Amino acid sequence: MDYLMRRYKYKVRPVMNETTVVQVKHEIVPRRILYVSEIRQEMKIHYWVRMEWQDEFLVWDPDDFNGTTTIFIPSEALWHPDIVLYQSNGDPISVRSSSVIPLIVSFTGRVLLLTPKIYTTHCKMNLTFYPFDTQTCYLKFGSWAYDGLKLDIVSRVEEAESSSYLHNGEWDLKKVTVERHEFYYSCCPEPYPDVEYTLYLTRRPMFYVMNLITPFIAITLLSSFAFIIPPDSGEKVSLAVTTLLSLVVFTQLVMSTVPAASDGTHPVIGVYFVVSVVLVSVVVVCSAISLHAFHKKDSGMPVPYLVRLVVLDLMGGVCRKLRLLHSSNNIYRHNVTDISTSTTNRDLERLQWSRETEKVLNLDREIDGSLRNRSEIYTISNERDCPTFIPRSLGREGTNQRVPSSPRSATISSIHRMEQLLLKMELCQREEKKRSNEEEERKKESYEWMQVSRVLDRFLLIVFTIIHIIVPAIILMKCSRIL
């Protein structure tokens, strides 16, 4: 070693002739990907460096040194090529051996450098299909000071070794390719060669599927069940709003892991999350509309024609075809029949009694039709307690009423009073029928508004459930094609 280092100068190129080109054979062996940061667009990687070159000043005859063919010399004592990583996010540190790792020198002058390195390098990422993405990162090595006429760098292998790679929990290293390039820069006419390693990384998406995507899809589907909750429970809109807030939180979690890019690329999953937030917002609005329709049943207003056409006819027809409103239609027909034919027990008794009195009325009209034209004002004691009547003539006269002078006069007076009573009964019957028709109409309108709310809920439940299932299925299938 003293023989070799006696006149050795490690600061100059190891060549006898100035025009001789030092050829450096370069190779890296990826060991482990420490982390990949989407926000900072960088990758930290641990790899082994293997370089060899010819040093014309380190040649000896093994016979002169007891057959020694290989020696180990401290790295700081020998010349190193200034090979640096161009994409380094830190200072472009030269790829040289650590001070504790010596260089292997052969008697032919071949110098071999074997050293581990950890570098943080820039890696431009395409997050369109995040978290089902495949990234391509480049490691470009070359001389920083020497041009191609002084130092030439080539690859020792055609494809980097991957057998020593330690698998990362999030990323799989699919393959590593090597290419050599020569560039001409504006500063200098000489070529500058480099060796570029291309790393193909595939993300393992299971963590994101289990902890991010699946809960998001479940919460989105949960929003559709707001249309199943009865309108009078008071929790219809609350469920939709709570779901919306949960989706906003999940969206913020996703966006916090994605860099703010202005190159027009957006993660598909981010677009899906935003669309889902919009859809759930529409669910909130539709739930409010359904509640509004349900509470219109007490307003006494009829269902507008356009609402009846769109909701009851079109949407209701779709639901009936899907047989989701079969039981509701039976209830509807049953209720309409009940509304048109049912009254209270008291009303039924009144109507039955009125039919009997009509026969008596017709008989009395035949006896004395001329008495129908008599004008007398009567009072009804209680309209709802009809047929209890008090003729005003009886009320006014009381005990001062004159007693008929003959049997015929008494008979005519009795018939007259009976006719008056029957006329009042007829008026009461008309009032009861009118009131019954109005009540029937109010019940019918109330039920139609309830049907509008029910049809809206069922139709929107079908639509949003289908959307919340199809949209993520399409996105997942689209992403799976690139894996």
8 Å CB contact between 212 and 253: yes
In the three-class reduction of DSSP (H, G, I as helix; E, B as strand; rest coil), residue 16 is classed as: coil
pLDDT band with cut points at 50, 70 and 90 for residue 264: low
Q: What is the pLDDT of residue 157?
A: 87
Token pair for residue 49?
Answer: 């460096």
Phi-psi region of 470 (alpha: psi -120 to 50; beta: other; left: phi over 0): alpha
CA distance 344 to 338: 11
Give the long-range contacts of residues 36-40, CB within 8 A, separation 24 or more. Answer: 36/123, 36/125, 36/135, 36/170, 36/171, 36/201, 38/125, 38/127, 38/130, 38/257, 38/258, 38/259, 39/257, 39/258, 39/259, 40/259
Greater confidence, 481 or 345?
481
What does the DSSP assignment read for 169-221?
SSEEEEEEEEEEEEEE-TT-SSEEEEEEEEEEEEE--HHHIIIIIHHHHHHHH
**Which among 113, 108, 105 is positioned nearest to 73, based on CA atoms?**
105
- Paired with 137 in beta bridges are 199
**Across all residues in the chain, what is the average pLDDT?**
77
Phi, psi of 437 (to 5 degrees): -65, -40
What three-state secondary structure class fits 118?
strand
Exposed, middle or buried, 366 (CB in 10 Å: 0-12/13-18/19+)? exposed
- pLDDT tens-place string over residues 11-62: 889 999 989 999 999 999 999 999 898 888 899 999 999 999 999 999 999 9
Question: CB under 8 Å to 431, separation ≥6 — which residues?
Answer: 383, 386
Residue 221, amino acid: L
Which amino acid is present at 38? Answer: E
CA 287 distance to own-chain centroid: 18
- Does pLDDT of 464 surpass 80? yes
* Mean pLDDT within 336-340: 42
If one compares 296 and 407, the residue with the highest pLDDT of the two is 296
Q: Count Cβ atoms below 10 Å from residue 453 Cβ, excluding itself.
A: 22
pTM over 0.85: no
pLDDT over 60 (residue 363): no
Residue 329: predicted pLDDT: 46
Q: Which two tokens stand for residue 354?
A: 């009125």
Residues 6 or more apart from 28 whose CB is under 8 A from it? 47, 48, 49, 50, 139, 141, 160, 197
Q: What is the DSSP letter of 132?
A: S
Write down the pLDDT at residue 192.
93
Which strand ranges, in their side-by-side order, compose the sheet holding 151-155? 70-73, 103-106, 110-122, 42-54, 22-37, 151-155
* Better-predicted residue by pLDDT, 456 or 52: 52
Beta-carbon neighbour count of residue 415 at 10 Å?
14
Tens digits of residue pLDDT in 163-218: 888 888 889 998 899 999 999 988 888 999 999 999 999 998 888 888 888 888 88
Q: How far apart are CA 250 and CA 270, in angstroms?
A: 10
